[in-house]
Amino acid sequence: MKGYNFAYLDDQTKRMIRRGLLKAVAIPGHQVPFGSREMPLPYGWGTGGIQVTASILGAGDVLKVIDQGADDTTNAVSIRRFFARTAGVATTTATAEATVIQTRHRIPEKQLREDQIIVYQVPQPEPLSRLEPSRIETKRMHGLADYGLMHVKLYEDISRFGQVSISYDYPVMVNERYLMSPSPIPAFDNPKMDMMPALQLFGAGREKRIYAIPPWTRVKSLDFDDHPFRTINAPHPCGLCGATDSYLDEVVTDNHGGRLFVCSDTDHCSERRAAGHVGTDGFQEAAE
Amino acid sequence: MTVMLRTRALSKSFTLHLRGGLLMPVLADIDLEVHAGECVVLSGPSGAGKSTLIRSLYGNYRAEGGSILVRHDATMVDIAAADPRTILAVRHKTLGYVSQFLRVVPRVSALDVVAEVLLTRNIDLDTARDKARSLLLQLNIPSRLHPIPPATFSGGEQQRVNLARGFIAGHPILLLDEPTASLDAENRAVVIRMVQQAKASGTAIVAICHDADVRDAIADRLFTMSPYQDAA
Amino acid sequence: MTEPTLLSGRGLGLSFGGITALADVDVDLWPGEMLAIVGESGSGKTTLLNVLSGRLTPDTGVVWYRDPNGQLHDVHAMPAPALRTLHRSDWGFVHQDPRQNLRMTVSAGGNVGERLMAQGARHYGDIRAAALDWLAQVEIDADRIDDLPRTFSGGMLQRLQIARTLVTHPRLVFMDEPTGGLDVSVQARLLDLIRSLVTRLQIAVVLVTHDIAVARLLAHRIAVMQRGRIVETGLTDQVLDDPRHPYTQLLVSSVLNA
């Protein structure tokens, strides 16, 4: 696009961010400050993720952008178009075809590969922020790996509700050293981060932090020995493709309480349907 | 006979800074020797310094001149020169003291006030309580009082709890300050019996005792003191 | 006695602006021993406590701490992580105001369990059992374990703070007026509790108090402070029954039946 640098950001900024990324990869799970730029969209819409994507994107990359698992929501569509125009890169909705995947709130169901990079949009990079308001103190806690307080939160949940009540942004220990926020992905997706073949990058624009998980790194969801971390599968299959192992969204279908549970990962769902899988609601949709 | 306690040229005075540094000499040139199995009763009029001497022997008052040698384990320790932790060790193992008044510990039962002396000697709670119970019963403190903190006890009862505390550990040296002052005849007889038993087992005892009957019953000899005089 | 000290301060001095808070202070503490630091407000006793515990750095002097392996550490030269670890495991600090130490938005059980979790305890059942055990030891009913501290009385808060501090079995606890601001009857109960726990667990304590009766009841030894200096020190009963320094005599004579 004329008048703009490749992928919108100037080269100095991209270089600065890449240095931050290198440092982040070298210290898995550690939050690296960076000079977050003003982007042509407001904070909270993925400015951190966009800056990271812009800094790593090459002309030959194929970009996929998802929001809540879907390729067709406003945020996903806008960001995909943004890079198509400013970088001229190819875009896709197929997880397997993408080399860079920017995401908000989900990890694709399909296992990622070593030649892929996933970029998470992060609103609050500090996992201890709700427990300890002082930034100086949380920095000290990270420095000393002093994470008893996070376990106090889990303890409180178990004693109050009988289980840990965190359903998304469930804190993880990276490489047995740093406590990290996985961004607001559902706890359901946490196990996908562990020993993932793809490089995982995290960008928080408003909070001006970058962090990373190199490929094949241990990522452990916090838990107690006698209350191990467990994901909860929905009690029913996807209404469209019949998948029983994917994360489902609830869709209200009419004004009479009708509802449909469907895969939140739209690419996963359509790929399965294309392969002939049909859910209980799949025919109805086809019949209508 | 083994010397258990010996003072040489012991002196003690008090400086009252709140009264313009007034100097009050109380003890001078005290030479006292007590052997194992012997009871020495301090005698002399009021103001002769009997209580001051007994408190100095215990290390409660700090002697100014002279020495207070106490047989502790195999050595003679000078209480007048020892550091605080040594004095605590000597008190723990060797030197028992029964003051005139029980210093009340809030909320602790009479039984445990006595038993806790043994707990610091690696004796288990049940054994300690058994021993405390029998000693209290011997001193005519009925069972129903054992679970009650002694703060509400009568003076005589408190003194007997205090005596049980003093006698339970079997210290080789015992200092008794008016052990029978507020006791009736029956309990005085109990105390006399306990002192005689202690002596028979080799305990060296220094006592202050105004009651002539008790004194005659327990004393092997008297150590006579007179009020401090500048001329002396 | 040749037993090595647990904590030793030598030549400690500190001034704030032109005001001398500490001057030439030497302190020794042996394992399992309770040392009371008494004196009136402004005498420097809390400053001394903060210097001994590494929370304040003195202008002059050094504080040595001997770890369980016999290794000596200069408290003010220790790296921050080591000192912090020390404060969360081998040491404890009991504040006059328990709210300074407790997490008021975390349940009683969570407050007691935090130090264990900070040390790596990862078994919920064990942590909860330890919390229940400690609540019992400080005489808080088991059914209050999930209650927030703000529903507790002042005396209960102080007992909860003590449970939270002692749960890791520290060897050394610093206490700053632990019974201050409590009703007399509540005070007596707390004193008795501190006394029995500390004796049973063989914990060394540096206790700052302006209350001579508290020192008399708890401490083996006592140090009397005036204007930043220790003016008299010795066995508690010696110093209180046979005070020598004019200031100690004044202090003792000002108290009824101490």
Q: Please answer yes or no on whether C220 and B84 come within 8 Å at the CB atom.
A: yes
Residue of C189, C221, C241 lying closest to B84 (CB–CB): C221
Sheet holding C60-66, edge to edge: C19-29, C7-16, C60-66, C72-74
Residue-level pLDDT at A283: 53
Give helix B125-138 / helix B155-167 axis angle, nearest 10°: 130
Interface test with C, best of B54, B85, B112 (most C CBs within 10 A): B85
Asked whether residue A46 is domain-assigned, the answer is yes
pLDDT surpassing 70 at residue A286? no
Average pLDDT taken over every residue of chain C: 93
Q: What tokens does C127 get? A: 């942590």
CATH of B1-94+197-227, one of 2.30.40.10, 3.40.50.1110, 3.40.50.920, 3.40.50.300: 3.40.50.300
* pLDDT one-digit tens code per residue, C182-230: 888 888 888 888 988 998 899 999 999 999 989 998 999 999 999 999 9
Residue A229 lies in a domain: no
Secondary structure of residue C221 in the 3-state scheme: strand
Residue C52 is which amino acid? L
Distance CA A184, CA B180 (A): 79
Task: Write phi, then psi, for B156 (nearest 5 degrees).
Answer: -65, -40
A226: contact with C, CB 8 A cutoff: yes
- Neighbouring C-alpha atoms within 13 Å toward the C-beta of A139: 6
User: Is residue A61 situated within a structural domain?
Assistant: yes
Residue ranges of chain C whose CB lies within 8 Å of a chain A CB: 80-81, 84-85, 88, 103, 106-107, 109-110, 113-119, 122-125, 127-128, 145-146
- For CA atoms C225, C230, C231, C234, give the dihedral sign: positive
- Indicate if A70 and A178 belong to the same structural domain: yes
Distances (CA, A) of A107 to A196, B19, B146: 11, 85, 70
Partners of C107 on chain A (C-beta within 8 Å) are 156, 159-160
- Tell me the C-alpha to C-alpha distance, in Å, between residue C178 and each of B20, C44, C174, C203, C217: 36, 17, 10, 16, 13
On whether any CB of chain C is under 8 Å from the CB of B144, the answer is: no
d(CA C242, CA B31): 22
Assess if residue A240 is contained within a domain. Answer: no
A126 and A253 housed in the same domain: no
CATH of the domain at A55: 3.40.50.11310
Quick one: A21 and A150 in the same domain?
yes
Q: Are residues A141 and A266 in the same domain?
A: no
C20: which 2 tokens? 């001398």
Query: Is A215 inside any structural domain?
Result: yes
> Within this chain, do residues A180 and A258 fall inside the same structural domain, yes or no?
no
Residue A194 lies inside a defined structural domain of this protein: yes
Note the pLDDT tens digit of each residue in C157-170.
999 999 999 999 99
Paired strand residues for A211: A202
In chain A, what residues touch C81 (CB-CB under 8 Å)?
A: 143-144
Q: How many residues does chain B have?
A: 232
Specify whether A263 is catalytic: yes
Distance CA B145, CA B136 (A): 10
Which of C218, C213, C219 lies closest to C251 in space, CA to CA?
C213
A69, A238, A239, A279: which one is catalytic?
A: A238
Query: How big is the B-C interface in CB pairs under 8 Å?
Result: 56
C160/C99 Cα distance (integer angstroms): 10
Contact flag C110-A155 (C-beta cutoff 8 Å): yes
- Residue C258: pLDDT band (50, 70, 90) is very low
- Does one domain contain both A174 and A259? no
CB contact under 8 A, B62 and C234: yes
A208 and A275 part of one domain: no
CA A175, distance to chain mean position in Å, is 18
Are A95 and A141 part of one and the same domain? Answer: yes
Annotation marks residue A205 as catalytic? no
| Catalytic residue flag (residue A20) | no
Domain ranges of chain B: 1-94+197-227, 99-170
Report angle CA B109, B112, B118 to the nearest 5 degrees: 165
Judgement on whether residues A156 and A53 belong to the same structural domain of the protein = yes
Distance CA A224, CA B160 (A): 55
SS3 state at A90: strand
Residue C195 phi/psi, 5° resolution?
A: -60, -50
Q: Quick check: helix, strand or coil at residue C220?
A: coil
pLDDT confidence of B230, banded at 50, 70, 90? low
Does the structure show a pLDDT above 60 at C257?
no
Instruction: Give the number of domains in chain A.
Output: 2
Task: Indicate if A35 belongs to the active site.
Answer: no
Instruction: Print the domain residue range for A96.
Output: 11-220
Distances (CA, A) of A216 to A173, A230, B110: 14, 21, 67
Please give the Cα distance from A284 to A239 (Å, whole number): 10
On whether any CB of chain C is under 8 Å from the CB of B61, the answer is yes
Chain C contact for A227 (CB, 8 A cutoff): yes
Task: Looking at the structure, tell me whether residues A141 and A270 fall in a common domain.
Answer: no
Q: Which of A20, A29, A46, A279 is catalytic?
A: A29
The answer, yes or no, to whether ipTM is higher than 0.95 is no
Q: Is residue A243 part of a domain?
A: no
A196 and A254 together in one domain: no
- Average pLDDT of span B165-173: 94
Identify residue B195 by its one-letter amino acid code. V
Sheet holding B75-78, edge to edge: B22-35, B3-16, B65-72, B75-78
What digits encode the pLDDT tens for the residues A49-81? 999 999 999 999 999 999 999 999 999 999 999
Are the Cβ atoms of C123 and A143 closer than 8 angstroms?
no
By CA distance, what is B106's nearest residue in C?
C188
- Identify each DSSP E strand in chain C by its residue range: 7-16, 19-29, 34-38, 60-66, 72-74, 91-94, 172-176, 204-209, 221-226, 229-235
User: C180 to chain B nearest CA, in Å?
Assistant: 17
H-helix segments, C97-245: 108-118, 124-137, 154-166, 184-201, 212-218, 236-241
Q: CB of B108 within 8 Å of any CB in chain C?
A: yes
pLDDT band of residue B226 (cuts 50, 70, 90) is confident
Dist CA B165 CA B136 (whole Å): 9
- pLDDT tens digits, residue range C9-44? 999 999 998 899 999 999 999 999 999 999 988 899
In a shared domain, residues A204 and A264? no
Chains contacting C (3+ CB pairs below 8 angstroms):
A, B
Overall size of chain A counted in residues: 288
In a domain, A27, yes or no: yes
Tell me the whole-structure pTM to 2 decimals: 0.87
Q: Is A238 a catalytic residue?
A: yes
User: What would the pLDDT profile of B99-116 be if each residue is shown by its tens digit?
Assistant: 888 876 778 899 999 998
- Does the distance separating the beta carbons of B62 and C199 come in below 8 Å? no
B107 and chain C in contact, CB less than 8 A? yes
